[in-house]
A and B are shown apart, each in its own frame.
Chain A
Amino acid sequence: MKDRDLKTKLLSAPYLVWSVIFVVVPLLVMAYFALTDANGSFTFDNIIHVKNYADIFLRSIIYSIAATLICLVLAYPIAFSISQCNPNKQRVMIMLVMLPMWMSLLLRTYAMMGILSDNGILNSFFTAIGLGPFKMIGTPGAVIFGMVYNYLPYMILPLYSVMCKIEKSTIEAAQDLGCNAFHVFAKILLPLSLPGIASGLTMVFVPSVSTFYISQKLGGGLFDLIGDTIERQFLGSTGGKNLGAAISLILMILILICMAIMNEFTDDDNEGGGVLF
C-alpha cells in the first residue's frame, strides 16, 4: 500500500518540479517586487498606487464579462448542434472550430485590424450594399469583438465535451413525459451542462481580463486594458517593474474573486437541482 503511494507520488514529480520552477518561484518573485521599491526595501506604496488604475481595472472587467457572455450565447447552440451530429461530422466540425487556433493570435489580430478598418473589407461590403460605412476599429466594440473572436473556441470545446456525455435517452424521456422545448433545456440540458459552462466561463474570462495585444491593436490605443498597463510598466526604464508587479498581483486577486463568484453560480452540489428556475 505504502509502495503504491510512493509510486503515484513519483508520477506527479515531473509536474511538481515544473510547477515549482515555473509557477511558484515566479509568483514569489512577483510578490517580492510588488512589495519592494526600486532599491529593494519593503513598502506598500506600489499596492496603494494601484488605486489610480481603478478605471482601467473596471474597463477590463466590464469588457471581459461582455465578451464572456457573448461567447456563451454564441457557443451554447453551436456546441449542442455539434454534439447531436454523427461522429464523423463531429470530428470535422471540431476541427473547424480549432482551425483558427492553428495560427498565432498576434497574426490573427493584426489581420483583423485591416478587416475592421474604415476602408477595410467589411466596410467596402457595407458601402456596396448601401448600409454605409461604420466606425468599427478603435471602438470598445472592436476590442470586445477581438476577445470573442480569439477566445470562442475555449467556450465551445468544454461545452461540447460535456454535451457529448448527455444521454440522448434523457432528453427523449423528458419529451415523452410532456416537457416542451424550453423545459427540456431548463430542466435537463442546462443542469447537465453546468460543469462545461463553468470551465468555459473561466477559460474565456481569465485570458480576456488580462489580455493586452488585442486591445492595443483593435482599440487603437484609446481603450487600453489592464494588461497593456502592466506591459508598459515593464517596458519603461524607470524601475516601473515594482508597480507592474503590484498591478499584476491585484489583478490575480481580482480574478480569484471573480472565479469564486462564478463557481458559486455553477456548482451543483445541492440536490434541489433547478435553483436557477
Chain B
Amino acid sequence: MKKVVSLLLVFASLFVLAGVLTSCADRTTYINVYNWGEYISDGADDSLDVNAAFTEATGIKVNYSNFASNEDMYAKLQGGGSSYDVIFPSDYMVERMIKEDMLLPLDYANIPNADNVLPEYRGLYYDKEDKYCLPYNVGMVGLIYNKKLVDEAPDSWAALWDKKYEGQILMFNNPRDAFAIAQSLLGIDYNTTNTADWDRVLEKMKEQKDVLQSYVMDEVFMKMENGEAALAPYYVGDFLTMRDNNPDLELVFPKEGSNIFVDVVCIPKCAGNKAGAEAYINFLLNPEIALANAEYLYYTTPFKSVIEDEEYSLKDDPYTFPSEEVKANAQYFHNLDEDTLKYMNDLWDQLKVESESSAAVYIALAVLVLGVGAFLALKISKKKKMEKMYH
C-alpha cells in the first residue's frame, strides 16, 4: 500500500513539475524570442550576430525560433502552452492582439533607447499611445520585373494581368497580399468591409489565373533570380536581396499605390521574463545593433540613429527610402473584423478551388463509375452462379 501511495505521489509531483515547466514560469536566465525567418542580422556574411551580442552584453541567453506568417504566430500564441517573451507581429496583427488583450504594456523605464524611433513611426493607428509595441522594420510591396524579359518598364499593377506575359507572371500565395493588388487596380480600400467590393476583387483575381505561372511565397527568390518569370509582386527588402543575385531585376512602385507595413516588437501576456524581454527590445533599438540589422535586412529603418549614420550604405537607396509621393499613395492593412476575414478566406478558397474541369472530365468520371459498377455486378452474379453450382 505504501508503495502505491509513494508511486502516486511521484506521479503527482511529475505532473506539477510539467505544469510549471510549460506555464508562464518566471525565469531570469533566458528569454524566448519568436521572429520571422531571416529577419535578424545573424552573423552570416560577416554581419553582426545580434543574439550572441545580446547574450554577451547581458548574460541572458536567447532561445530563438521562427514563424512563417502572422497567422501562424497568432495561432501558436492562442493555442497556449508556449511561453514567448518577445514577438514580432505586423501592424494589422498587433492591432488585433491589442484588441484581444494578448500583450503586456511596455515599461519605458527599461527601454531608454525608445527615443531612437523616428516621430513618423510613433503612435500609429494600431497602438496610438505606443503602449504595447515599438517598430522594428518598415517595408513596402512593389512590382519586381526582369529588364530582359519585359518590352517596357511597367508602371501599373495591370502588367500582372497582361496577356503578353502569359506564363511569366507570379502572384502572392496569401489572400491579404494578393487581394490588395487587385484592390489597388479596382480602386477599392484594402480594409473594406463591403462584401460586394470583395466579390469584385475575386472576379478580378479569377481573370488573372489564365496568365499566371504560379502563386508563390518564398519560391519567388528562386524563380526571379533564375529568370524563370518576368513579373512578380513582393516585399522591397527581399527584392534587394534578389537583385544581389540577378542584376537584371528592377522594382517599381505602381501608380495605383501599394501596401506599406510596419513590423513591430512587443511582449505577449504569457512572457516569463518581462525584464529580459525589455532589455532585448532596448538592445534592438541600440544605434549599433539597429545599423547592423538595417544593413543586413535591407528593410526601411524606423530609427533616427541609422538614418543619421554616415556609414549607412543604403542612405540614398530609392527602394529602401521611397519618395514621399510613393509613401503618400501607400495604404496600411488594418485588422479586419471576424466576418470580413472569414469572407475573404472563403473567397481565396473559391479562387483556388475553381478549376476548368470541363464536361469531358465529368463524362470520363461517369464512364469510370459505370464501368466499376458493371464490373462489380458481373462479379457478384458470377459468384452467385458458382454458389448455385456447388450446392
Contact = CB atoms under 8 A, between A and B. Distances in A.
Contacts of B69: 235
B195 to A, nearest CB: 15
A237 B74 contact: yes
Nearest to B209: A222
Nearest to B379: A275
A52 B350 contact: yes
Nearest to A61: B365
Interface in B344-383: 345, 348-350, 352-355, 357, 361, 364-365, 372, 375-376, 379, 382-383
Given A117-B228, A221-B173, A275-B379, A238 B213 contact: no
Nearest to A54: B353
A221 B214 contact: yes
Interface stretch (B123-131, B219-227, B247-255): B219-227
B146 to A, nearest CB: 12
A236 B357 contact: no
B353 A55 contact: yes
A158 to B, nearest CB: 22
B267 to A, nearest CB: 20
B161 to A, nearest CB: 15
A53 B219 CA distance: 26
A3 interface: no
B342 interface: yes
Q: For chain B, what secondary structure do more than half of its interface residues adopt (helix, strand, loop), or is it mixed?
A: helix
Interface in A55-92: 55-56, 58-59, 62
B361 A56 contact: no
A127 interface: no
Interface in B47-74: 69-72, 74
Contact of A265 (B78, B354, B375): B375
B214 A138 contact: yes
B104 interface: no
B371 to A, nearest CB: 11
B185 interface: no
Given A59-B357, A119-B228, A229 B350 contact: no
Given A138-B213, A270-B383, A235 B72 contact: yes
Given A221-B216, A264-B376, A238 B345 contact: yes
A235 to B, nearest CB: 6
Given A222-B215, A237-B341, A272-B382, A114 B354 contact: no
Contacts of A119: 226-228
Interface of B: 69-72, 74-75, 78, 167, 173, 209, 212-216, 219, 222-223, 226-228, 338, 341-342, 345, 348-350, 352-355, 357, 361, 364-365, 372, 375-376, 379, 382-383, 386
Contacts of B212: 220, 222
Given A62-B364, A113-B222, A238-B341, 18 more contacts: A58-B361, A62-B365, A114-B222, A117-B226, A118-B228, A138-B213, A138-B214, A220-B213, A220-B216, A222-B209, A222-B212, A222-B215, A229-B349, A232-B348, A237-B75, A238-B342, A264-B376, A265-B375
Interface string A204-242: 000000000000110111111000110010111111100
Contacts of B74: 237
Contact of B214 (A220, A229, A236, A239): A220
Contact of B365 (A58, A216, A221): A58
A113 B376 contact: no
A181 interface: no
A135 B167 CA distance: 9
Contacts of B70: 237
B253 to A, nearest CB: 25
Nearest to A226: B353
Contacts of A217: 219
Contact of B382 (A137, A234, A238, A275): A275
Contact of A271 (B75, B348, B386): B386
Contacts of A228: 352
Interface string A130-174: 000001011000000000000000000000000000000000000
Nearest to B73: A237
Given A56-B355, A119-B226, A220-B215, A236 B376 contact: no
A47 B4 CA distance: 48
Contacts of A6: none
Nearest to A234: B75
Contacts of B219: 113, 217
A107 interface: no
A76 B383 CA distance: 28
B75 A62 contact: no
A272 B353 CA distance: 45
A28 interface: no
B209 A270 contact: no
B361 A272 contact: no
B354 A55 contact: yes
A118 B349 CA distance: 28
B355 A55 contact: yes
A235 B214 contact: no
A250 to B, nearest CB: 14
